[in-house]
Amino acid sequence: MAQLMTISEMRDRYKKKEDPFDLTVEKWIRIRRFLDTASTVGDFNNLFQAANVAIPFCFEYQSRGCTGCPLEKMCGRGGGGRLLKVMRLLQIHVLAILAGNMLLKEPLFSEVDGILMELKTIKAKSSEAGD
């Protein structure tokens, strides 16, 4: 099973000047890999916690209300639809397992893959703007 990123790992690697986009993408890649084998309440609770791990942009921009953050439209005020959907789907999986059912993971895979695609697009646009 893939190892999920913790807040301390994220902070430590960011302090070592690792690229914030790369760290954010890695967080979601790990979530996607972990999701492949997730099957218990504990697994889905761990995924929920990992999805809540603050990303480097939050360390920098959250105190300013996310203003200027390159991901503001993705997860900031009113734009976090996909992130909220992932969180809700994870909670629904927990409830289903507690009720003795297993749900299909495809909707979760689709949303996480969408987050990864969106992150890569924003990074590419950010790189172009910085040139």
Burial of 39 (0-12, 13-18, 19+ CB in 10 A): exposed
pLDDT in tens, 72-108: 878 766 566 788 899 999 999 999 999 999 999 999 9
pTM, whole model, 2 decimals? 0.91
pLDDT in tens, 1-26: 679 999 999 999 999 999 999 999 99
Q: Kindly state whether residue 66 falls inside one of the protein's structural domains.
A: no
Q: Kindly state whether residue 64 falls inside one of the protein's structural domains.
A: no
Domain hosting residue 46, numbered range: 8-59+71-125
Q: What is the pLDDT of residue 78?
A: 58
Q: How far apart are CA 19 and CA 25, in angstroms?
A: 10
CB 50 within 8 Å of CB 5: yes
Q: Kindly state whether residue 1 falls inside one of the protein's structural domains.
A: no
Q: Kindly state whether residue 119 falls inside one of the protein's structural domains.
A: yes
Q: Kindly state whether residue 83 falls inside one of the protein's structural domains.
A: yes
